[in-house]
A = this chain, B = another copy of it.
Amino acid sequence: MLHKPDGVDSRMNQQMTSQATQLVDRRREFHRYPEPSWCEYWTTARIVDHLEHIGVDEIHVGAEGMDPAARMHLPPTSEREQWRERARERGADPATLDRMDGATGCVAVLDRGDGPHVGLRVDIDALPITEAADDEHAPAANGFRSDNEGYMHACGHDGHAAIGLGVVEAIAASDFAGRLTVFFQPAEEVLGGGKPMAQSPHVEGIDALFAVHLGLGHGTGDVVAGVEKPLSVKELSATVTGDSAHAGRAPNEGANAIQGMAAAVQSLYAIPRHEEGLTRVNVGTVDAGDAINVVAADAQMDVEVRAETDALAEYMYDEVDRRLQASAEMHDCQGEVELLSEAPRADSDPALREHVAGIAADVAGVDTTIPVADFGASEDATYFMDAVSEAGGESSYLIVGTDHPSGHHTSGFDIDEESLSIAVDVLTRAIEAY
């Protein structure tokens, strides 16, 4: 039985199927153990457990499932090793951890004879957000709130992992002829895992690739058959380096990195709007200075630019670079911009969108099928889409609606678990009917 907080209108059937029960159980298990990008050791090991239980033809674990050299935005090794150790303590299979070889995520393959090669990509990482603990928040009220304090599945990737397993299980039990490759991708939140998986041989020969996200402002019962305009994105680390000085005795002897940073922040947000399309810039974090009475010698910012096209993202990058340099120079400091990660824009193919739309209309629980919608955010699934497209295949990025009481990336985020079955059903039928 589902435990929903009071006042939430669950449309779920009281006679829940065993598939639905399993989806909910798995999602909650993942929800309780959120791991940040590139640290999804326990999550990966648990997915492998399930895959082995289901029975698939191939499992490529960690580094086996990607081009490890293409990884972006890796946290320090010490941090990753702490999470690996923690996963081991939590009960992750040591053999699986060893196979990962320092990477996370996995690729599952069902090989069912002649037929199309279909891909499905889901992402599995969590966010450094402290989960709400009040009774209004269903995971807290129902006992599956995060065990990893300070981390949270606040973007539904717990559900995505469960959906990926659900599709494998459903296709495994079906008459599907062909090859199904499911990518359980790590490190989407830092745009770090899409590129290395998309550059692996597992993508080769895919005729149709599906990617899926829950929610994004769409309620339970909505299905978007394919999105357009996921924004091109670049994530940057910007630093300003000056010289410290005694702030009381001789401020003139310093080169003030905090002033350089402040000038840069103001200047970055003032990059001109561009005639060719929408652009975004954000300074998400700032960490600067050592002591209250010392002119700061160092400032570090995490900066993100997004844009409607890859060319506009380049424009934004170039502007960030020039403005950061000038802001630093203004205060006699040095500025430096480092690219942490990036993802291109890639649109869903109209034909595949229509295929999905036709399927979705007939799936139980789907009230509204939206042929196409603007994505409005960024995603590194676009690396898969580009790779498939370049090899002659097609792809579509679906949104499966879910009632969510609070926005993505907020501490009160939650999903309507009924949407898990809808997602599995839409995807399974779209794969079978392809």
Contacts and interface: CB of A to CB of B under 8 A. Distances in A.
B275 A292 contact: no
Contacts of A407: 245-246
Interface stretch (A27-35, A48-56, A296-304, A358-366): A296-304
Interface string A241-281: 00011111111111010110111011101101111101110
A160 interface: no
B296 A273 contact: no
Contacts of A190: 292
Given A127-B291, A282-B247, A306-B248, A270 B272 contact: no
A272 B249 contact: no
Interface string A17-30: 00000000000000
Interface in A283-342: 283-296, 299, 302-304, 306, 315, 322-323, 325-327, 329-332, 340
A251 B263 contact: no
Nearest to A379: B248
Looking at A128, A233, A269, which has the most chain B CB atoms within 10 Å of its CB?
A269
Nearest to A296: B284
Contact of A246 (B249, B322, B408): B408
A257 B96 CA distance: 43
Given A267-B263, A270-B266, A249 B376 contact: yes
A235 interface: yes
Nearest to A303: B292
Nearest to A407: B246
Given A248-B233, A275-B249, A376-B248, A287 B284 contact: no
Contacts of A296: 283-286
A270 B246 CA distance: 17
Q: Number of copies of this chain in the oligomer?
A: 4
Contacts of A273: 251-252, 273, 278-280
A129 interface: yes
A258 B244 contact: no
Nearest to A231: B248
Given A248-B306, A284-B296, A330 B327 contact: yes
A377 interface: yes
A378 interface: yes
B377 A246 contact: yes
Interface string A114-152: 000000000000011100000000000000000000000
A167 B253 CA distance: 35
A410 interface: yes
Interface in A178-222: 189-190
Interface in A394-409: 407-409
A36 B233 CA distance: 42
A289 B294 contact: no
A267 B330 contact: yes
A284 B280 contact: no
Contact of A256 (B231, B259, B272, B315): B272
Given A235-B292, A262-B262, A292-B304, 20 more contacts: A246-B407, A246-B409, A248-B378, A251-B272, A251-B275, A252-B275, A259-B269, A259-B270, A261-B286, A262-B266, A270-B270, A273-B279, A283-B296, A285-B289, A285-B291, A286-B296, A286-B299, A291-B409, A292-B340, A329-B329
27 contacts: A129-B290, A129-B291, A189-B293, A235-B293, A244-B409, A247-B304, A249-B275, A249-B377, A251-B275, A254-B272, A256-B269, A261-B265, A263-B266, A263-B267, A266-B266, A266-B270, A273-B279, A275-B376, A282-B295, A284-B290, A286-B287, A286-B288, A287-B287, A292-B302, A322-B329, A322-B332, A329-B329
Interface of A: 127-129, 189-190, 231, 233, 235, 244-254, 256, 258-259, 261-263, 265-267, 269-270, 272-276, 278-280, 282-296, 299, 302-304, 306, 315, 322-323, 325-327, 329-332, 340, 376-378, 407-410
